[in-house]
Amino acid sequence: MNRVAVVTGGSRGIGRAVALRLAADGQAVVIAYAHASDAAEAVVAEIEGKGGQAVAVRADVADEAAVATLFDTAEQRFGGVDVVVHAAGVMVLAPVAELDLDALDRMHRTNVRGTFVVGREAARRVRRGGAIVNFSTSVTRLSLPTYAGYAASKAAVEAISPILAKELRGRDVTVNAVAPGPTATDLFLDGKDEATVERMAKMNPMERLGTPEDIAEVVSSLAGPARWVNGQTIYVNGGAA
């Protein structure tokens, strides 16, 4: 029986790389996207072009009805759900004194409520031997100025994940969070000048930005063979302190 993965935020950036990697690992992939339908369908076409199975579904991760439909689609098309990778997220950067509270609410809705909504559905439906992988950020440790709102929303993910892991006792389902460091995606690069990007690339001893594929490699392990890693936050940042 082939494994089936649901990947939120799977149309772009790290989510796209994760969807492609899991498909290469032999999993059927359900790609959830918020707005970028063309990008999501392009990922589906790339997976199918390589002999894999995929479908794209529009879903607001904070909307419980939409997320239920997302999981329904996975079960109807591919027979069930084994892996859930919740990579969808919103990032707005500003100092605490200047952060627009509407932007804070938007981050909270997607990053915190979305993790609860997706996690709740995953807890109900993921089959034995499955895995749930949420996304945090290394900024929860790096404490970079302007990242307070975003880091706070992702710190909630780090609190939720190990508790859900314990709540799934006896199910043989792992729950972990992945916390990338600075990674070369549109979300990260947007609005940053070359000097800022270079400075952040030098924060780790590897002296480069991460790539989406670096992150997808770790997710691939957590979604498959790494059965003894559970309730953890894995910092994937090249050694940035």
Residues noted as catalytic: 150
- 211 φ, ψ (degrees, to nearest 5): -110, 155
Closest CA to 203 of 139, 153, 136, 158: 139
- CA 13, 141, 97: angle at the middle one, nearest 5? 90
DSSP class of residue 113 equals I
- Cβ atoms of 237 and 204 within 8 Å: the answer is yes
CB atoms within 10 A of CB 160: 18
Cβ-Cβ contacts under 8 Å for 60 (sequence gap 6 or more): 34, 66, 67
- CA 151, 152, 154: angle at the middle one, nearest 5? 65
Q: Which structure tokens are listed for 12? A: 């772009």
Instruction: Spell out where the chain has E strands.
Output: 4-8, 28-33, 54-58, 83-86, 131-135, 174-180, 233-236
